[in-house]
Amino acid sequence: MGKTLTEKILERASGRSVSPRDVVEVAVDIVAFHDLTGYHVIEVLEKLGETRIHNLDSLVIAFDHLVPPPDVRSAEIQQNIRLFAKRYNIKNFHDAGFGILHQVLIEKYVLPGQVVMAADSHTTTSGALGAFAQGLGASDIAAIVLTGKTWLTVPQPFKIRLVGSPREWITGKEVALEILRVFKSDYFNGMSIEVFVDNPNSFPMDYRVTVANMGIEMNADTLMFIPDSVTVDYIRSERGFEPKIVTPDPDAKYVDEYTIELDKVDFLVSAPHSVDNVKSVRDVWGTEVDYVFIGSCTNGRLSDFEIAAKIMKGKKAKTRCIAIPASWNVFRKALNLGYIQTLVEAGCIVTYGTCGPCIGGHFGIAAPNEVVLSTSNRNFVGRMGSPQAKIYLSGPAIAAAAAVSGKIVEPGDVM
């Protein structure tokens, strides 16, 4: 019988044949952590008294949650990890300002068919490249740093097919929200979602990264796009070489499948206070917004800033607006293409490479009773600051339209 992508990757990584629900030990190709969880990873390593790292080349560290450090404690956490990286001569260490870990992994490290484990739930992001990627707790990650291995339960594979092409301004975020609208946020527990794109060019890499990022909001163990020409082109253009790709067999068996017709996907938002409280923009049309955030590992890529700049060009923001490209690489490209200038002239505060407001850490905390429109992935009570704030989640077009109109509207309403 044919094999799914999940089975192919986990068979290679475990060196045995696997079936859904098997518990297997797998070799991990990339293990990673950031500043906030890295602190705990290092604490566990120190408690164990271990000094040997299994494979220095496979370990990636990037600072993002506490960038730039908002207080002495955060500065100290980063200082500790910096010393750790120096002590072990960790070459894949990215200090403040390089980018959000998941973006850095996509840009520089992950390859199709790999097993990627990082101390952050949005590690599923790397599934955009066809890698089996999962978030784990800090102690599990510490164990991988030492042994190069972990154990997991083989998830049940679920197939999603994307057919046709999305309408103008409809991106990966609307597709992720469409999946959450239909299945809610607990359906995919214990499953790996494998996404097949019928016409690769209809769904560019940036869109795939957003959908994979939100795999964890669907409660999936992992969400992988079947590698295709878009995957190969992306790695060639970012890293200058052509990767080998792994794909499922044509007769692979899935527990179920679901098809999304991209041209029918609507403008959607997650209304307060859960990601699967998905509504059509028409149903919340005119809701007044105080603060717009464009960024995060969900929607901090070049196409997000291209869309925001196209919509905001020549206009002034009517809300507070904070815009944060997910990495230095994205920021630099957006700068060269004039998107940053457009956003700055519209009155946005722009910086790069930090989680900042996404997690209510710093750099733009929501006040009580404020209405926030964010392109990030979580809107539970208190996520971005005050527990009395109301957070809507959307794609970049709805966010930019809200920034220039002060309301939740469709992009066509402000063009």
Ligand X SMILES: CC(C)[C@H](C(=O)O)[C@@H](O)C(=O)O
Select from ligand SF4, ligand X, none the partner in contact with residue 37, using the beta carbon and a kind-dependent cut-off of 5 to 8 Å: ligand X
Token look-up 């057919």 returns 163
Distance CA 372, CA 269 (A): 12
Positions that interact with ligand X (CB under 6 A): 36-37, 65, 120-122, 135, 359
Q: What are the C-alpha distances in Å from 253 to residues 14, 26, 157, 407?
A: 20, 22, 8, 45
Binding at 296: pick from ligand X, ligand SF4, none (beta carbon under 5-8 Å per type): ligand SF4
* CA distances (Å), origin 93, targets 4, 38, 41, 327: 34, 12, 15, 14
Select from ligand X, ligand SF4, none the partner in contact with residue 36, using the beta carbon and a kind-dependent cut-off of 5 to 8 Å: ligand X
| Contacted entry of ligand X, ligand SF4, none for residue 192, CB cut-off 5 to 8 Å set by kind | none
Closest distance of CB 357 from ligand X, Å = 12
Q: Does 138 bind ligand SF4 (CB under 6 A)?
A: no
Is the N-terminal amide bond of 68 cis, ω within 30° of 0? yes
d(CA 415, CA 313): 10
Contact 97, 66 (CB under 8 A): no
Q: Does residue number 355 form part of the binding site for ligand SF4 (CB under 6 A)?
A: yes
Give the number of other CB atoms < 10 A from CB of residue 167.
Answer: 13
Identity of residue 75: A
Of residues 46, 41, 213, the one with CA closest to residue 122: 213
Q: Shortest approach of ligand X to residue 378 CB, angstroms?
A: 6
Does residue 122 touch ligand SF4 according to CB under 6 A?
A: yes
Least Cβ distance, residue 58 to ligand X (angstroms): 20
Site string for ligand SF4, 273-302 (x = CB under 6 A): -----------------------xx-----
Question: Both tokens of residue 14?
Answer: 């475990």
CB of 166 to ligand SF4, least distance (A): 23
Q: Which residue is nearest to ligand X (CB)?
A: 121
* 393, interface contact from ligand SF4, ligand X, none, CB < 5-8 Å by kind: none
Return the one option of ligand X, ligand SF4, none that residue 210 interacts with (CB less than 5 to 8 A, by type): none
Binding at 100: pick from ligand X, ligand SF4, none (beta carbon under 5-8 Å per type)? ligand SF4
321 assigned to a ligand binding site? no
- Minimum separation from the CB atom of position 120 to ligand X (A): 4
Estimate the crossing angle of helix 205-213 against helix 302-312, to 10 degrees. 110
The footprint of ligand SF4 on this chain (CB under 6 A) covers a number of residues equal to 12
- Residue 359 in the binding site for ligand SF4 (CB under 6 A): yes
Q: Judge whether 355 is annotated as a binding position.
A: yes
Comparing CB distances to ligand X, the nearer of 119 and 230 is: 119
Min dist. Cβ of residue 135 to ligand X (A): 6
- Give bridge partners of residue 191 from the DSSP assignment: 156
135 binds, among ligand SF4, ligand X, none (CB under 5 to 8 A by kind): ligand X
The least CB distance from residue 46 to ligand X, in Å, is 20
Q: Which range, of 169-177, 233-241, 351-359, 385-393, touches ligand SF4 by CB under 6 A?
A: 351-359
Is the CB of 65 or the CB of 208 nearer to ligand SF4?
A: 65
Closest contact distance (angstroms) between CB of 381 and ligand SF4 is 16
Alpha-carbon Rg for the chain, nearest whole angstrom, is 20
Cα 199 from Cα 414, distance rounded (Å): 31
User: Would the annotation count 348 as a binding residue?
Assistant: no
Other C-beta atoms closer than 10 Å to the C-beta of 367 total 12
377 binding ligand SF4? (CB under 6 A): yes
Instruction: CB nearer to ligand X: give 122 or 159.
Output: 122
Q: Which is nearer to ligand X, 120 or 140 (CB)?
A: 120
Name the site residues for ligand SF4 (rule: CB under 6 A). Answer: 64-65, 100, 120, 122, 296-297, 355, 358-359, 376-377
Binding residues for [4Fe-4S] cluster: 297, 355, 358
